[in-house]
Structure 1
Amino acid sequence: MTTESDTTAAAFPSLEDWQHWTQVMGRAQQMLLETWADSWKSGDPAPGLKLPNAPDPMAMLTAGAEAWGKGLEAWGQMLGGMAAAADRKDKRFAAPEWRDNPVFDTIRQSYLAISDQLMKTADQAEGLDSEAHQRLKFLTASFVDAMSPSNFALTNPQVLKATMESRGENLLTGLRHMLDDMKAGQMTHVAKGHFEVGRNLATTPGKVIHETPLYQLIQYTPTTEKVLETPLIVFPPWINRFYILDLTAEKSFVRWCVEQGITLFMVSWKSADESIKDVTLDDYVLRGQVDAIDTVRDLLGVEQVHTIGYCVAGTTLAATLALLAARGQADKVASATFFTAQVDFAHAGDLRLFLGDETMGLLGQLSADTGIVDGRVMASTFNLLRGRDLIWNYVTNNYLLGKEPPPFDLLHWNGDVTNLPAGWHRDYLETLYKGNKLVEEGGISVDGTPIDLKRIETPLYIQAGREDHIAPPQSVWKIMDHVPGPKRFVLAGSGHIAGVVNPPSAGKYQYWLNEGEPKDLDAFIEGATEHKGSWWPDWLAWLTERAPKKVDAKGARVPGKGKRQAIEDAPGRYVKTR
């Protein structure tokens, strides 16, 4: 009589079969590497992955071949010594089927052990400059993540179980999900229809009180009887929607600021179309940030404003501060806060790996007809930086298991892309990111005025994320070296988004402060004091200390009650335009 266990055993390949096919897989991987290496050697690598010249032109090939050679040896070695495989926690293999079934337990442990070996050999590769070494490690990590057995139906026990239980419906549903995503041009990260801007996202009450072809300016309705006299203007990155700072009510930085008695204004950049396809740095500085500063000063009758620049908007805010200083107008800004913003890109993050000549050429081709870079291009790039979480996790969940992704406001925002002016986007990448011209005295000019960061005396609050892969803390720290005025640096737990969007009520993460005068980030960390929870209250205390005076929340402090009439309700139509 055939037992259930006999049937199960017969349904799966034996260990010997698996060893054979993993060897086949290994040979296939080696051929992929050789093809990639040959293309690099011939000067025609994959778009965006061109390697810089190393001291020895064959160093990368040698190091790569050595790394993969050792990795291929591991395929056989690890299968014979599974006890040595790392048994660490990994959410890709959290389901009990990965351990309960000996075949899949072997697959899991083999993969983890071999992954460790490949990453170790890539990390130890010699004869490469730092940028080439970073590329090798990134490519190895990306390949390792892509080859996870959780990403393939026949090597994922959860998918096989779901297929048997649903008689294949999971695969049919997954195929439908995949085809829908292909039609939309981007992967779905959040269940459709759950979130809507203005309904359950970006709901803090306010009015659009100023509009230009480049941006809308939102003024939020006060909720306290008294407010700080000096208002705050927030400049979000133009590559994303502003409501990352106004998500659901409990996560909203905007709502929290208003509740603390801050008169808050938010810039909502227009998603690029042909009407603004030719904008430049001058536009984002003069007709964006300076215009908003002057508009608010005039509306409220104040001499100064506080400012916040998030990510790339922080980069341009530094240029704005330097411009105002050069023109004798620095007193317009009482303080500037930088959220995960870089001015010196010498030690920027993994995004530099996508700045090769081929990538620039591809951007040119994609925008040749319209002068616009489709926001989905940038979204795909950022997804690649966290491929395990933002690509392969959804391949398994959405396509193989046929499930709907769970509702998550942050990921809805992540997929709500904005289009970019192609010329300005390329210039930003070439001049600031690759050329690092902002930190050179007179390296760039705005409206004919040379920019020198050393002229900035405005008090700065600089926030970095400890685990930020887009603006690494080492890179964010560099502003401390270039700006001579008073500065306060805070290192927040988590990354580029969660490190910023961390309301006190959540009780999550932590932040570090160093009240001394550390010379670099290592010294800052060594002497830092850890504080539990959100850094927002520390920032509020710092901001209030700069300008503590309060006034009644009436007249022009109420949107539409001053000299500028309300155009429409917040969040405005610009943020809803794709």
Structure 2
Amino acid sequence: MAQKSDDHGHSGQEFPGFDARFFDAYAIKDPQSLMMNAARAFENLGRAASEWLGPRERGETSDDLFAGPIGDFIKTMSALTEYWTSDQKRMLEAQTLLLSTYFEIWMRSIQQAGGQQENSAEADMAANKDRRFADEDWYRNPFFSFLRQIYLASATWAERLVSEAEGLDEITRYKARFYVRQFTAAFSPSNFAMTNPEVWRATVESQGMNLVTGMRMLTEDVIAGGGHLRLRQTDASQFSVGNNLAITAGKVIARNELCEIIQYAPSTETVFKRPLVIVPPWINKFYILDLTPEKSFIKWCVDQGHTVFVISWVNPDREHAAKDWESYIREGIDFALDTAEQATGEKQVNAIGYCVGGTLLAATLAWHAQKNDARIASATLLTAQVDFAEAGELKVFVDEEQLAVIEAQMKTSGYMAASQMAAAFNLLRSSELIWPYVVNNYLKGKEPMAFDLLYWNSDSTRVAAANHAYYLRSCYLDNALSAGQMKLGGGSIDLRDISIPIYNLATREDHIAPARSVFRGNALFGGPVEFVLSGSGHIAGVVNPPSRTKYRYWAQGDTGAKSADTLDGWLKEATETAGSWWPHWQAWVEAQDTDLVPARIPGDRTLSPLGDAPGTYVLARA
């Protein structure tokens, strides 16, 4: 049947919805070159497979640690499946719902091919907020539009199966929802070469060279991960710790086998009398707080007149296997407090704990309270949980069976591998931290852009076995800290013994320390609590310098943190302010003590510098 085109290049009356421009870009122009490059791509894929299998055959690595999550996935999804398959009527209704949705999509696709759905496609494209489907051909090309709609309908249907399943306990439902989202994220049509319009066009245009390059990059990333995929999220060649990251001037003034203590050089003539000691998480490296001069919270604190000390944790290996929670307190926080006193002569400090560093700091404060140790005069907790009842999606990986697998593996190695830690955290945001890079790197064959935050994210650390096992059991599994049952020094500690002022920061979109979970901690402290809610997430909501004028925060003073029963109730009374929370925190710290002294130079008292910041421990790659 002949086709006719008007002056605008649109198709004729026989197929008014057919526009050749939607299909020309997908027609193979040079099949011979494409086949040759496809063969080269498969050859590179074979090399990647060999690099994956090699370490397993030699016994250098294994996938034993993933047995726990895989087993839990099977158990959870079996419980969900049993509910829907145990009643034929229920199963038929669910199937009918999905098939009727598919039929509606099929009819719309036929109408689109007939030129009757152009306005609908434009409206869908304008309303789209899913970056996976940003390309216009997901809407204007009938084939890709059909795939997109089928996928979204299937994903919505799958999540509905979870939410409407009766008889599931809340933990099983929570896990099922998480696993379903991981499954649907993985099987998005955007993740496959033949169903992603951008990848298909790139393949046709380059005769398949994008896949050759992508499979080469895949091989390199498997080699870099020692048999596990170390997914590159940024152009690592553009960054170097100590050269263009973590460059705030300072000195390492103390070191033990667990950490280095860095004192930063002053930038003001006078400084606050109380030093500031920062306890970062040991799960990642401290320089998230000192990325670049423009983003550095550490430099900003120095510029406000603080004498800043930071703990730089060692990247643990087998010899650190027995370093437990108490070790990180005694040889980490207490060591930093002793160092600050030696360096400044001051007996009291203000302290900051970030993420799990904040959880450790809170436990330290409770332990100190029992011993009448008053060295910490005020404490700031940044996205730190002390009550783990609503601890978020990380709880998916923590139950008795999975912990047994983790502990058995760590008993052999002495630590939790950095690659396994990174994989767990990336899974929490797989649609942002995994699949976009799989598509960009391995299907499009493009190097990711240079991004300092993602370089830091990829600079993973190992975690000492004893410390990690204690943390997972005492906090995530038993929630012992909130109940006053955490064991330290031979007895139990209670957060209610803490009477010093607390600045408790949560971030609104946090997926690691959810805001509701952080808020629950307010009621557990025995002293005044200033609760503040920042916009954005676990990292961007914290690392948000005032100069960027981004996001916003909510606060209402220390009277509201404990009086409100819920976060939503607290928000109704809170005051919203545009910009960074940093100046608000600075005003809070100054309200604790405004005494000033001449600026302190690292090493100007009894401690001789051991080297320049950022030290040596931070340079160890896992």
TM-score, normalised to structure 1, is 0.88
Structure 2 equivalent of residue 5 of structure 1: 20
For residue 437 of structure 1, give the secondary structure of its aligned residue in structure 2.
Answer: coil
Q: Does 1:75 align with 2:102?
A: yes
- Cα 1:481–1:52 shift into 2, 3 Å: farther
Match of 2:47 in 1: none
- What letter is aligned with 1:244? I
Higher alpha-carbon Rg: 2
Amino acid at match of 1:376: S
Map of 2:180 onto structure 1: 140
Is 1:420 matched with 2:420?
no
1:404 and 1:60 map into 2 onto residues whose CA distance is 44
Q: In the aligned structure 2, how far is the partner of 1:231 from the partner of 1:274?
A: 34
Which of 273, 280, 285 does residue 317 from structure 2 map onto? 273
The answer on whether the counterparts of 1:60 and 1:128 sit within 8 Å (CA) in structure 2 is no
Q: CA deviation at 1:58?
A: 4.9
8 Å CA contact retained: 1:71, 1:118: no
Comparing 418-427 and 241-250, the one that deviates more: 418-427
Instruction: Name 2:516's counterpart in structure 1.
Output: 474
Equivalent residue letter for 2:308: L
| 2:73 alignment counterpart | 49
Partners of 1:121 and 1:251 lie apart in 2 by 43
Q: Measured at CA, do residues 576 and 56 of structure 1 come closer, stay the same or move farther in structure 2, by a change above 3 Å?
A: closer
**2-structure distance, mates of 1:11, 1:505:** 46
> Which residue in the other structure is 1:547 paired with?
593
1:231 to 1:157, Cα distance in 2 relative to 1, 3 A = same
Show the counterpart of 2:64.
Answer: none
> Residues 189 and 415 of structure 1 are in contact (CA less than 8 Å); yes or no, is this contact kept in structure 2?
yes
Q: CA deviation at 1:417?
A: 0.7
Q: Residue 424 of structure 1 aligns to a residue in which SS?
A: helix
Provide the aligned length of Structure 1 versus Structure 2.
544
The letter for the 1-side match of 2:207 is R
Residue 10 of structure 1 deviates from its aligned partner by 12
Any conservation in 2 of the 1:306–1:333 contact (CA below 8 Å)? Answer: yes
- Give the match for residue 57 of structure 2: none
Offset, 1:249? 1.1
Q: Is the 8 A contact 1:68 1:118 kept in 2?
A: no
Distance 1:566 1:174, change over 3 A: same
Q: Distance in 2 between matches of 1:378 and 1:505?
A: 33
Q: Per-residue deviation at 1:527?
A: 1.5
The aligned counterpart of 1:101 is: 141
**Which residue identity lines up with residue 455 of structure 1 in the other structure?**
D
CA deviations 1:146-182 (Å, max 9, x no partner) are 1111100000111111111111110000001111111
Query: What corresponds to 2:304 in structure 1?
Result: 260
Is 125-134 or 538-547 further displaced after alignment?
A: 125-134
SS at match of 1:89: coil
- 1:42-441 alignment, distance < 5 Å: 46-49=70-73, 58-59=82-83, 69=95, 70-71=97-98, 74-81=101-108, 88-185=128-225, 186-329=230-373, 331-441=374-484
8 Å Cα contact 1:363/1:422 also seen in 2: no
Bigger mean CA deviation after superposition, 416-425 or 509-518? 509-518
Distance 1:264 1:61 in 2: 60
| Compared CA separation, residues 115 and 52, structure 1 to 2 (3 A) | closer
- Specify whether residues 60 and 44 from structure 1 end up closer, same or farther in structure 2 by C-alpha distance, changes over 3 A only: farther
Residues of 2 paired with 1:187 and 1:408: CA distance?
14
Contact 1:54 1:60 in 2 (8 A): no
C-alpha distance 407-56 of structure 1, shift in aligned 2 (>3 A): closer
Structure 1 residue 11: Cα displacement: 6.4
Residue 135 of structure 1 contacts residue 353 of structure 1 at CA under 8 Å; is this kept in 2?
Answer: yes
CA, structure 1 residues 7+151, in 2 after alignment: closer, same or farther (shift >3 Å)?
closer
User: Of the candidates 548, 563, 566, which is equivalent to residue 520 of structure 1?
Assistant: 566
Q: Deviations over 1:216-263 (max 9, x none)?
A: 000000000011110100000001000000001111001111111110
Q: 1:369 to 1:147 in 2, by over 3 A?
A: same
| Alpha-carbon distance in 2 for matches of 1:507, 1:11 | 43
Q: Is the 8 A contact 1:311 1:340 kept in 2?
A: yes
**1:144 & 1:68 partners in 2: Cα distance?**
18
1:232–1:308 CA contact under 8 A, matched in 2: yes
Q: Are 1:326 and 1:449, in contact at CA under 8 Å, matched by a contact in 2?
A: no
Contact 2:511–2:537 (Cα < 8 Å) also in 1? yes
Q: Which runs of 4+ in 1 moved over 6 A?
A: 1-4, 9-12, 52-57, 63-68
Aligned-pair CA distance for 1:458: 1.2
Change (3 A) 1:7 1:304: closer
The one-letter amino acid of 1:302's match is: E
CA distance in 1, matches of 2:494, 2:21: 75
Q: TM-score, normalised by structure 2?
A: 0.82
CA distance in 2, matches of 1:566, 1:470: 36
Shift of residue 59, structure 1, vs aligned partner: 4.3
Q: Could you tell me how far apart the structure 2 residues matched to 1:11 and 1:91 are?
A: 22
Point out where structure 1 has 5 or more consecutive residues left out of the alignment: 13-42
Q: Is the CA contact (8 Å cut-off) linking 1:51 and 1:132 kept in structure 2? A: no
Q: Distance in 1 between matches of 2:602 and 2:184?
A: 53
C-alpha change, 1:388 and 1:214, in structure 2 (3 Å) is same
**One-letter identity of the residue aligned with 1:249:** P
| SS in structure 2 of the partner of residue 478 of structure 1 | helix
Matched residue of 2:213: which SS?
Answer: helix
The 1:294–1:94 alpha-carbon spacing in structure 2 relative to 1, beyond 3 Å, is same
Please name the residue that 2:540 is paired with: 498
Range moving further from structure 2, 43-52 or 480-489: 43-52
Return closer, same or farther for 1:56/1:114 CA change in 2, 3 Å cut-off.
Answer: closer
Cα 1:352–1:45 shift into 2, 3 Å: closer
Secondary structure at the aligned position of 1:250 is classed as coil
- Counterpart secondary structure, 1:217: strand
CA contact (8 A) 2:275 2:350 kept: yes
Structure 2 unaligned blocks of 5 or more: 6-18, 28-66, 110-116
Q: Is the CA contact 1:342–1:476 (under 8 Å) kept in the aligned structure 2? A: yes
Q: Secondary structure at the match of 1:258?
A: helix
**Is the 2:320–2:414 contact (alpha carbons within 8 Å) kept by the matching residues of 1?**
no
Judge which range, 131-140 or 234-243, deviates more: 131-140
Residue of structure 2 equivalent to 1:22:
none
Q: For 1:54 and 1:535, how far apart are their aligned partners in 2?
A: 45
Indicate the RMSD between aligned Cα atoms, in angstroms. Answer: 2.8
Q: Is the 8 A contact 1:246 1:253 kept in 2?
A: yes
In structure 2, the partner of 1:508 is: 550
Tell me the residue number matched to 1:566.
609
More displaced 10-residue stretch of structure 1: 421-430 or 213-222: 421-430
User: Could you tell me whether the CA contact under 8 Å between 2:507 and 2:541 is conserved in 1?
Assistant: yes
Distance 1:504 1:119 in 2: 39
